[in-house]
């Protein structure tokens, strides 16, 4: 089977999400990559070095600059004439793009796979991760999005794939990119961090969140996350949200502070290797999944913890 | 213009789903069902666009069992003008739903279709994008802001790392994210009025759509259980544990 993997990039580097997806694709067969963008030749060079990659298709055109699904999907559909499966990471870009490709190919997408069980058989979470379904596709071609935390990263060195420039239909004339507001952070990226310190509604306000959570995160070199309640209350921006509707994370250590552990939140973090919970309510559901729990008032416990590390 | 709002009847988001012992699925017998939360946001957004004068009519549509009529009545009680139920007792996958919606779009010619970004039962996150593909229209997924500007719509999207704004030519497909709005509650008088609003019942065959599933569900299982944890009495013990793990 020949697979085509969507390369997520920022015109400079290949994002880690791609490396996880390559591992999933390699379980199905020969891995080809698609680098689409505007001025992204350097990304194709880097992508060609990823271990296990047989070929890189490079589509460099202004129309592909912001990965608008209307422009990029037809390009992928063309390439699918020579491939049996299309895989994209289950990031916002992948989730936006892949179903558009699937429908154009008249196939059902398999979303957010956790494992490859056979050539056309996969597991995926349903009901906010409260059940795991094993599904088999009956379609001729596969379109898949990959839960990145469920697959190891492919090595970004060791490969020597050929890069082939391709062109597609360009601008479909349906949509245009207006602008972006990207939150800047010096801290590790949430989805790839080894340690995450997450805060919930109990942090009271943005200032308290900052004063309590950030020093601990910095001490541990951790990324900062939040529950939906903390995001909705405006303590932190939306893209900090961990959960069914936010980001899915699986770090080595997840420290949940002042988070009760609603099922929507657990859906985003219960595959973390070690979960540590600090909460003053000893009946909080978070303690049912926590490996280490501390029943304490976070206003005393967290500064004390930060001080003693 | 008209706005079409597809809504789905799903297990209530507060209910913890239980996997059936025979591994065939999740037990939905006697479980509280509600409108998918993202779809409530979609209905709300359509109503706000109507109230702002950007739309004349809001049509709610649902594909599902007879009981999905209750979900449509909820949309009508919130303020939708009329509803279409495409009735079937089969499981309908996103691709088939998108094909049914395409056929309804061909009949109704909406300027905008607003869907939830995903249903909280199958967690697919596909239907909106598939509908956009099948109809050859632009898509604004994970919307946190929607502004109709003449023949176009500006959609601010929640993307990994922040926000992004795109401009789409109408007709367009928009899928809602949680931050788009706070859905209204249906008042008792409006619930009563909703009972008199038109609700057409159709079947997938009326639209010539084959709903046979493409994905075979071989098994549904409980996720692996986490082993029981420990509680530590104080911060010092927690620090010691963290040091043991090599974290600190």
Query: Closest approach of chain B CAs to the CA of A163, in angstroms?
Result: 28
Res B48: pLDDT: 98
Q: Would you state the pLDDT for residue B156?
A: 98
Which class for A5: exposed (0-12), middle (13-18), buried (19 or more C-beta within 10 A)? buried
Tens of pLDDT, residues B133-150: 999 999 999 999 999 999
On average, the pLDDT of chain B sits at: 96
Please tell me the distance from the alpha carbon of residue A109 to that of residue B213, in angstroms, as a whole number. Answer: 12
Residue-wise pLDDT tens digits, A153-202: 999 999 999 999 999 999 999 999 999 998 777 888 898 899 999 999 99
Do residues A282 and A259 make contact, with C-beta atoms less than 8 angstroms apart?
no
User: In the block, which residue shows the tokens 């089969």?
Assistant: B90
State the best of B14, B96, B247 to mutate against chain A, taking most chain A CBs within 10 Å: B247
Helices (H), chain A: 16-26, 41-48, 69-79, 92-104, 206-220, 228-232, 263-269, 298-308
Whether the per-residue pLDDT at B228 is higher than 80: the answer is no
- Check residue B110 and give its pLDDT: 98
Nearest CA in chain A to B172: A174
Q: Please give the pLDDT value at position B246.
A: 83
- Predicted confidence band at B226 (pLDDT cuts at 50, 70, 90)? confident
What the block records as the tokens of B247 is 């974290």
Token code pair at residue B82: 């009329």
Token pair of B42, please? 């979609």
For B168, which of A91, A174, A263 is closest by C-beta distance? Answer: A174
Residue in chain A closest to B231 (alpha carbons) equals A293
Contact (CB, 8 A) for A72 and A36: yes
- When pLDDT is averaged across residues B21-26 and rounded to a whole number, the result is 95
∠ at Cα A66 (B131, A4), nearest 5°? 70
- Residue A42 has what pLDDT? 96
Instruction: Give contacts of A69 with chain B, Cβ < 8 Å.
Output: 129, 132, 139, 141
What is the number of other CB atoms lying within 10 angstroms of the CB of residue B107?
Answer: 9
| pLDDT, tens only, B103-126 | 999 999 999 999 999 999 999 999
> What was the pLDDT predicted at B218?
98
Give mean pLDDT, residues B33-41: 97
Residue B247 binned pLDDT confidence (cut-offs 50, 70, 90): confident
Residue keyed to tokens 């709903």: B211
SS3 A59: strand
Neighboring chain B residues of A212 at a CB cutoff of 8 Å: none
| Cβ–Cβ gap B231/A309 under 8 Å | no
| Mean pLDDT confidence for B18-36 | 96
Give chain A's residues under pLDDT 70: none
Q: What is the ipTM of this complex?
A: 0.96
Higher per-residue pLDDT: B179 or B44: B44
Look at residue A223 in the predicted model and tell me its pLDDT: 96
């Amino acid at each position: 089977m020949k697979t085509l993997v969507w390369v997520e990039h920022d015109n400079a580097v290949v994002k880690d999400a791609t490396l996880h997806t390559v591992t999933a694709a390699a379980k199905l067969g020969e891995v080809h990559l698609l680098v689409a963008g505007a001025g992204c030749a350097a990304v194709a060079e880097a992508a060609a070095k990823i271990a296990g990659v047989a070929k890189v298709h490079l589509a460099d055109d202004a129309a592909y600059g912001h990965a608008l699904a209307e422009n990029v999907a037809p390009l992928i559909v063309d390439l699918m004439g020579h491939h049996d499966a299309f895989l994209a990471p289950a990031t916002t870009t992948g989730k936006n793009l892949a179903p558009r490709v699937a429908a154009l190919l008249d196939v059902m997408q398999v979303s957010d796979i956790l494992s490859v069980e056979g050539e056309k058989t996969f597991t995926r979470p349903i009901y906010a991760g409260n059940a795991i379904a094993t599904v088999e596709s009956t379609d001729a071609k596969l379109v898949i999005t990959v839960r990145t935390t469920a697959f190891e990263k492919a090595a970004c060195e060791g490969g020597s794939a050929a890069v082939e420039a391709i062109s597609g239909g360009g601008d479909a004339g349906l949509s245009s990119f207006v602008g972006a507001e990207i939150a800047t952070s010096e801290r590790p990226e949430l989805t790839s961090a080894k340690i995450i310190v997450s805060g919930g509604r109990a942090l009271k306000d943005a200032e308290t969140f900052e004063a309590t959570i950030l020093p601990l995160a910095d001490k541990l070199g951790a990324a900062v996350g939040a529950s939906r309640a903390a995001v909705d209350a405006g303590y932190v921006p939306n893209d900090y949200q961990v959960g069914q509707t936010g980001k899915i994370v699986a770090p080595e250590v997840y420290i949940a502070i002042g988070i009760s552990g609603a099922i929507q939140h657990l859906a985003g973090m219960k595959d973390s290797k070690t979960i540590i919970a600090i909460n003053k309510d000893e009946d909080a559901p978070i303690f049912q999944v926590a490996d280490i729990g501390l029943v304490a008032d976070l206003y005393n416990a967290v500064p004390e913890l930060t001080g003693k590390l | 213009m008209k706005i079409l709002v597809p809504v789905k009847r799903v297990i209530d988001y507060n209910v913890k789903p239980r996997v059936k012992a025979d591994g065939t699925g999740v037990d939905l017998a006697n479980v509280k069902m509600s409108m998918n939360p993202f779809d409530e946001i979609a209905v709300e957004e359509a109503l706000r666009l109507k109230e702002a004068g950007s739309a004349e009519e809001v049509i709610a549509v649902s594909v599902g069992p007879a009981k999905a009529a209750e979900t449509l009545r909820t949309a009508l009680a919130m303020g939708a003008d009329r509803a279409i139920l495409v009735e079937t007792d089969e499981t309908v996958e996103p691709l088939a739903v998108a094909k049914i919606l395409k056929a309804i779009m061909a009949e109704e010619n909406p300027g905008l279709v607003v869907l939830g970004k995903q249903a909280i039962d199958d967690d697919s996150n596909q239907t909106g994008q598939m509908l956009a593909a099948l109809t050859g229209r632009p898509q604004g997924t994970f919307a946190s802001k929607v502004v109709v500007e003449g023949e176009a719509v500006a959609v601010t999207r929640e993307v990994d790392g922040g926000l992004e704004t795109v401009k789409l030519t109408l007709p367009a497909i928009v899928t809602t994210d949680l931050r788009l709005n706070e859905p209204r509650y249906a008042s008792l008088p409006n619930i009563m009025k909703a009972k008199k609003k038109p609700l057409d019942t159709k079947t997938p065959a009326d639209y010539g759509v084959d709903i046979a599933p493409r994905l075979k569900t071989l098994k549904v299982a409980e996720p692996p259980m986490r082993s029981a944890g420990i509680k530590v009495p104080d911060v010092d013990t927690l620090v010691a544990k963290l040091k043991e793990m090599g974290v600190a």
